[in-house]
Amino acid sequence: MDQRVFDYLNTYGIRADTRAFLEQEKKMLIGEKWVGAGDRETFDVIEFSTGGVVTQIPKGTAEDVDAAVTAARYQFEQGEWSKLSGLQREQLINRLADLMEENLEQLAEIESIDVGRNREISQEADVQGSIDTLRYFAGWASKISGRVGEPCSLPGSYLTYTMKEPVGVVGSIAPWNFPLNTTCWKLGATLATGCTTVIKPAELTSLSSLRLGELALEAGIPAGVVNVVTGAGSVVGRAIAEHPGVDKLTFTGSTPVGKSVGLAAINKLNHLTLELGGKSPVIVLEDVDIKSAAAKVAEGVFFNAGQVCDAGTRAYIHESIYDEFVAEVAACAKAMKIGPGLASDSFIPPLVGRKQFDSVVKHIQRGIEEGAELACGGLPEDIVNGVYVEPTVFKNCRNDMSIVREEIFGPVLVTAPFSTDDEAIELANDSEYGLASCIYGSDITRVLKIAPRIQAGSVKINGDGMVDPAMPFGGYKQSGVGKDLGQEQLEHFLETKTIFINLND
């Protein structure tokens, strides 16, 4: 840990157990072994508000992935895990959730330091959200069942029924923006269905997944059921996607990387879930409470500095309230506190690294060059020394502008007016993405007529950021394949087997 990080932690204060975790040697979880760097290369964990090094993590290899898959395969086919009932799995998942609750504040601090997000927000959104997800799927573990068939159409007498069986070893590749939460989205369904897993956390934000691995073993989940291999996506991620012993791949990340990962899985005819990018539209009707709706739109797009796949980044606002509404959103944006994650009053965190910062700045520059008008924000004054970007709102954007078409993944909102509902729907659907959307309006009948016409995996009405473990999450078009969360997710981790019994003499 370098001096910049040391001073940062001392300035804001962290728990003793958090500091102890950060200072201990980081090791991957492979089967029953904690595997350190050894002769492997390592990579730095950066605290993004200071640019300082927190610790080093091993760069896993294809051989590490192979060892992890072997451990997962053994537990799935022959080990203790393969012999547990659904009720026993339910109890173990709930025990893991219990331990996460006992370590709630520590996990929140680890996530805040690793990702840069506000500590209190991390506790509520990341850690508590992860616990809620695990508890939801724990309840399903003892309730997964097939069905008895209708009278068979074959002549004679037959009994038919189906069985639900786990697919096997799951390769789980998580993103850097919500590492703990998205990992638990995948882990809950994996454990509930009786599968085993090899988790590859994002290279930039691996710490919470390593702590999760510790808690899984402490909960009594047999060694080898949950494996965590850290490292580069081009090495560890590719090895997981291409490994013949992986039966299902679940990936959350950008659309270009998701396509590459998906091709590897498809070549093996694997089960596949891809939760990819988004450029989610927001439609604001003229009958809204402008102040209230503008605050919700601003919070929805600027939360986590816009590094959210389903953030409402394209706002189409009725022409009669357009100027007033954009001015109100800009006022909300200017009032948002920019600062590091451990600062209790911060809302806009640093971006996750220099590469992401440079990408967002490049998009803002292109928006200005393309003729979009700035309502607030813009290019950072200090491009050399900082990775903070002010919340930025563009006015009078056209749908052919790059800032409207491309996922920026930063605190940037593009806006345009519309005159009719049909025009708003056409603008909203004019995108290669279809992850999420929002509609703001007081006439619920009108809103509910618009909602089915939006090409997106979810439509949020009069609010944003609404995610529930019981409701499926996933997109249309270039935003992915399959669903996370909800009963629908379970089907992606299960095989269906049909049984025919001949009752004829």
pLDDT tens digits along 277-304: 999 999 999 999 999 999 999 999 999 9
pLDDT at 385: 55
**Per-residue pLDDT tens digits for 182-220:** 999 999 999 999 999 999 999 999 999 999 999 999 999
Query: What span, in angstroms and rounded, lies between the C-alpha atoms of 255 and 278?
Result: 9
Tokens representing residue 191 in the block: 């454990």
pLDDT at 268: 82
339 pLDDT above the threshold of 70: yes
pLDDT at 380: 84
pLDDT at 28: 98
| Residue 444, number of CB atoms within 10 A of its CB | 10
433 pLDDT above the threshold of 80: yes
Confidence grade of residue 465 (pLDDT, cut at 50, 70, 90): confident
Percentage of the chain with pLDDT > 90?
91
Of 336, 325, 482, nearest to 411 by C-alpha is 336
pLDDT at 386: 66
**Per-residue pLDDT tens digits for 152-168:** 888 889 999 999 999 99
Q: Positive or negative, the Cα torsion across 306, 310, 313, 317? A: negative
Q: What is the mean pLDDT of the chain?
A: 95
Of residues 386 and 446, more confidence is placed in 446
Q: Average pLDDT for residues 333-346, to the nearest whole number?
A: 95
Select 3-276+483-494's CATH number: 3.40.605.10, 3.40.50.970, 1.10.40.50, 2.60.40.1940.
3.40.605.10
Query: What span, in angstroms and rounded, lies between the C-alpha atoms of 425 and 267?
Result: 37
pLDDT at 150: 78
Confidence grade of residue 261 (pLDDT, cut at 50, 70, 90): confident
Element (H, E) at 410: none
Whether residue 414 contacts residue 368, with contact meaning beta carbons closer than 8 Å, is answered with: no
**Per-residue pLDDT tens digits for 26-39:** 999 999 999 999 98
383 pLDDT above the threshold of 70: no
Burial of 147 from C-beta contacts in 10 A (0-12 / 13-18 / 19+): exposed
Whether residue 261 contacts residue 173, with contact meaning beta carbons closer than 8 Å, is answered with: yes
Whether residue 230 contacts residue 201, with contact meaning beta carbons closer than 8 Å, is answered with: yes
Query: What span, in angstroms and rounded, lies between the C-alpha atoms of 15 and 10?
Result: 10
384 pLDDT above the threshold of 50: no
How is the chain split among helix, strand and coil, in percent rounded to 5?
A: 45, 20, 35
CATH of domain 280-468: 3.40.309.10
Chain region(s) in the chain for CATH 3.40.605.10:
3-276+483-494
pTM of the model: 0.94
315 pLDDT above the threshold of 50: yes
Chain region(s) in the chain for CATH 3.40.309.10:
280-468
Residues whose CB falls within 8 Å of the CB of residue 421, separated by 6 or more in sequence, listed in order:
285, 446, 449, 450
pLDDT at 368: 96
- List beta partners, residue 495: 165
Residues taking part in catalysis: 275
Of residues 383 and 447, more confidence is placed in 447
pLDDT at 382: 57
pLDDT at 209: 97
Query: What span, in angstroms and rounded, lies between the C-alpha atoms of 278 and 300?
Result: 14
